[in-house]
Amino acid sequence: MLHKRLSQFLIIYFLGLGLLLAVKYCFGLSDYVIPGFTDMQNTAQAVAAGYLRAVLDTLGVAVIGHVLAIALATVVAIVGRPDNLLGTMIKTAAYNLQAYPIVAVAPIIFILLGDGLPSRLLIAAIICYFPLLLSFIGILGEPVAGIEHFYVVTGRMRWQLEVKIRAFENIHKLITVVTGSATLAMVGTIVAEFIGADSGIGYSLRIALYQSDIAKVLVALFLIGVFNSLYLVALELLGLAVRKRMGVEQRTQQ
Amino acid sequence: MNGALPRLVFLLGLLVLVSLLGGCRQRGGEPAAELNYRLKWLYNINTAGDLYAQEHGFFTSRGLKVTVKPGGPERDAIRELELGRAQFGVASADQVIRALAKGAPIVVIAQLFQQNPLQWIYRSAGACYASPRQLRGKTVGITFGGNDETIMRALLAKYRIAPDEVNLFSVRYDYTPFYRGEVDLWPIYRNAEGIVIAEKMAKAGEQTGFFVPDLFAVRFVANSLITTRSMLEENPGVVRSFRDALLSAWQEAMAPANAARTIALVHAYDQGTPAEIIAKQLDATRQLMLPENGRLGRIDVAAWQQTEKIMLEQGVIDSPVAVEKALLPDGL
């Protein structure tokens, strides 16, 4: 799984890089527009250690923000899953709020919370929270008629049981949604750092862009891609372990 | 079905390549039928002369068809020149020197600001920075990675102030830390947001002053007019006409007699800024572009060399670029 994810990323990254270099040499562009191979190599050697620390910092914030978003989305989806007034209001609010561009909201967050960890965490959580919420509401709001019917007619249905049945029956979808939103958490953290923080790879990217240094940007993108792939693999392995523990794999194979 | 996917991927790849190559159209070479002029920033007082040239026919009277395009944080005139998307542009000296260090074939044909508008605002009550040595123990805002960082570090080095004797504060678009008094000096463009902030603080009963690095012999050049070397070599007449048109327009736009026209023009493009503020910005801009005994557009070779030296000492560039070779002499 790890090998597959990493090789997919590396193929895409180096194809993109190759295309850039082809354009550079075709048109005789200077290293200022598109850095040459030697320039990239020198830049990588110079900034790799600092950027590695920055990416790990970003990844740490992204993971915490992601966990927060999952927890919050789960709670709100459970509250909002019934097809009543509250459920409809939560769904409408989620659809409307996710339309706000984070770059417009982020400055307000930075004014209120400063440019430290809380702002980065909140923005990372916000970016991956709404897609998670909408998916969770969709999954937990969809009755599993074949199983739920028995508990409903025997009067033993409780909300906890309803949530458990729906989560168990849709565990594959839930894991896919959680894994998919991991990239959003990473993107959210980088956006937050780019806009207002003083650390992380988003901040390094901002400085590189200030300095018009595309070689630094390419090194940062490489490290972001590698660590994002590693995080996705970790989540996929976690999902596999959860499915095995719940016996979903055996049941699917049968 | 077998082989459909590779074919689709190949076609998509080809499409991307064609779009990219289309974007990198012919560079330099033939005289452009239509010239694109990429500014450094959005329309504001710093583009007054550019707008004046466009609106009052300075280009057309010289047989030039010019489209003035606003800049912005993601726009880089030097890249656009190299890619052939623009023939003239405005770039700051640090951008020019960085680009020269990476082999970009650009030349400076005029220097717009004779004094750098990037200065630091401070509350003047109880503070007077007659010497940079008075910065010791103060909290100074800088944009890490920006040219204000380079200027401030050069100033500190010149006056032998150790970096730990000054608290450097990372600056963003939010001025709250300055308003709250957490930061003593805040970097601003004196003729643009400097006017707005000084006005706001005056309304709140606080007087402000500006810390000007140029006064302490740290001369770091700001915005300049640039083109490509091939454009200059192949179309010197077009370059001369363009430069003359633009500098004449700036001259007229800055003339006190034309102030009302200039203010109205800038306000038409920058409606978010009230006309009375633009009037004050215009006065400040005039002083930065036309200092006493100065001549509009004059390329200050010594200041450029000092800018290069500062960038070299600060490690912004790895080796000298001999910037004077990229500065066009007045005779063109």
Nearest residue of B to residue A116, measured between CA atoms: B170
Which of B85, B102, B179 to mutate: most A Cβ within 10 Å? Answer: B102
Confidence of residue A195 (pLDDT cuts 50, 70, 90): confident
| Domain covering A50-253 in this structure, CATH number | 1.10.3720.10
Judged against a pLDDT cut of 50, whether residue A221 lies above it is answered with: yes
Residue in chain B closest to A109 (alpha carbons) equals B174
Q: Does A208 sit within 8 Å of B24, measured CB to CB? A: no
* CB–CB contact A111 B176 (8 Å): yes
Which residues of chain B are within 8 Å of residue A210 when distances are taken between CB atoms?
143, 145-146
Question: Is residue A145 very low, low, confident or very high in pLDDT (cuts 50, 70, 90)?
Answer: confident
pLDDT tens-digit series, residues B252-289: 999 999 999 999 999 999 999 999 999 999 999 999 99
Q: Most B CBs within 10 Å: which of A8, A33, A40, A51, as the mutation test of the B interface?
A: A33
> A50-100 pLDDT, tens per residue?
999 999 999 999 999 999 999 999 988 888 877 778 878 887 887 777 777
- Phi-psi label, residue B43: left if phi above 0, alpha if psi -120 to 50, beta otherwise: beta
- Write the CB contacts of A162 (distance below 8 Å, at least 6 apart in sequence): A148
Report residues of chain B scoring pLDDT below 50.
1, 25-32
Domains of chain B: 31-114+221-326 (3.40.190.10), 118-216 (3.40.190.10)
Q: Specify the DSSP element, H or E, that contains A248.
A: helix A248-253
pLDDT in tens, B222-248: 999 999 999 999 999 999 999 999 999
Using alpha carbons, list the distances in angstroms from residue B267 to A150, B54, B197, B282, B284.
Answer: 72, 15, 18, 11, 16
The CA–CA distances, whole Å, from A178 to A126, A127, A136 equal 14, 13, 10
Q: Give me the pLDDT at residue B146, please.
A: 87
Between B268 and A148, the higher pLDDT residue:
B268
**Residue A6 CA, distance from chain mean position:** 17
Q: Nearest by CB to B103, which of A19, A30, A110?
A: A30
Mean pLDDT check: name the lowest of A19-23, A131-135, B96-100.
Answer: A131-135
Mean per-residue pLDDT of chain A: 88
- What is the mean predicted confidence (pLDDT) over A223-232? 95
Of B102, B105, B145, the CB nearest to A207: B145
What part of B 136-175 touches A (C-beta under 8 Å)? Answer: 143-146, 170, 172-174
